[in-house]
Structure 1
């Protein structure tokens, strides 16, 4: 695996369509335009919440924890790949700022394997593809490294940044995996999810409010509540009983 901070610039200079593999927030919030997206996996890596975040999901004094990949010969990490057109001049600079400048990630190129579900005799979507991968390594300034799962879960539950609460990042990723790739196994991710939900319940923390779902539900209810503001303008009518 060749890793370099200039990989995205080199691929962008080729002016060819580029696949980008997401395994964290890109799965449910890519934030850029793309031609196509497919679920699948990369080999030789395992997902871990070992990377710190001081912008989107934490602060300098209270960093959150987000996903990165660690090399694992037997590992398989599932996620989603996005095809960026050669004409899209905004996507890679956006990702470079989001993942590298702010997030502390580097880039490398890996083989992405589309999910077998996409198998088609007339389609090339099942062929493995070169994909750009953003990955954090221990040398970066945001690296937090391994810790007991309960400690990681509590840290995730307590932190927030400019993009929202750290817990939203974790739970939306777990939801994505469960809904889009139910056959995928990720004990680290789902163990953290279980612990976060348990701690939130013990501490009587409303996870819906941390994910912004309560406000969305209130807005939806408000939108469907009928208005009676014109009711007083309708003249009353008196009914008479008539014997037939």
Structure 2
């Protein structure tokens, strides 16, 4: 699948034609940097998915030649991912489809809001068949990759640190994110920012 998913996402019938609000689930940068108008926001979970830094970013936190790493959701029946649900009007997706164009498909999934109610919502997920996919790596390797990456939206490290801080403020336990944050701070504090090679094994 092409890394650019704008046309794929816009050629769906997910959005109400009458302008009724819908729920949107955010689990990465949408948590700490919404950047769009919304009616309300509430903590929410999505069952059967886990947050992982396995997606490449050629357009925001990296470049086509040296992509950064950003979060996606990975299916895992035993997992549960906590994020924020935004109630938005359909016109918001004109902007979001562009923001999430680098490999993310807009999908309908069941969300559980903080009051225990279940609702259908939209969520952007990058799967392993997209061209920007980087795949699994150790948290230490991901941190080194992140420390060396930067794109039009800023340093890749900013994405990790801002997300970790936001999750911590929400009281979310996410060992994967916090482990990357810990390794990343060690690299940055040590002032030995690596010259990461995109071609090197992600497991090194």
TM-score when normalising by structure 1:
0.72
- Following the alignment from structure 1 to structure 2, what is the Cα–Cα distance between the partners of residues 140 and 189? 22
Map 1:1-244 → 2, pairs under 5 A:
5-6=9-10, 9-85=13-89, 89=91, 91-100=92-101, 103-115=102-114, 119=115, 126-179=116-169, 181-182=170-171, 184-203=172-191
- Following the alignment from structure 1 to structure 2, what is the Cα–Cα distance between the partners of residues 7 and 191? 38
**Greater Cα radius of gyration, structure 1 or 2:** 1
Deviation string for 1:144-194 (max 9, x for gaps)?
A: 000122111101011111110000101100000001x21x22111110000
The alpha carbon displacement at 1:50 in A equals: 0.3
Structure with bigger RCO (C-alpha 8 Å, 6+ apart) = 2
The alpha carbon displacement at 1:15 in A equals: 2.5
- Following the alignment from structure 1 to structure 2, what is the Cα–Cα distance between the partners of residues 6 and 131? 16
4+ residue stretches of structure 1 with deviation over 3 A? 4-9
- Following the alignment from structure 2 to structure 1, what is the Cα–Cα distance between the partners of residues 28 and 11? 20
CA contact (8 A) 2:9 2:97 kept: no
Question: How many residues are treated as equivalent by the alignment?
Answer: 186
Q: Over aligned residues, Cα RMSD in angstroms?
A: 1.7
More helix by share: 1
Structure 1 counterpart of 2:200: none
- Following the alignment from structure 1 to structure 2, what is the Cα–Cα distance between the partners of residues 135 and 38? 20
Relative to 1, partners in 2 of residues 1:7 and 1:14: Cα closer, same or farther, differing over 3 Å? farther
TM-score when normalising by structure 2:
0.86
SS at match of 2:59: coil
The alpha carbon displacement at 1:204 in A equals: 5.9
Unaligned 5+ residue runs, structure 1? 120-125, 206-244
Unaligned 5+ residue runs, structure 2? 1-7, 194-204
CA contact (8 A) 1:12 1:92 kept: no
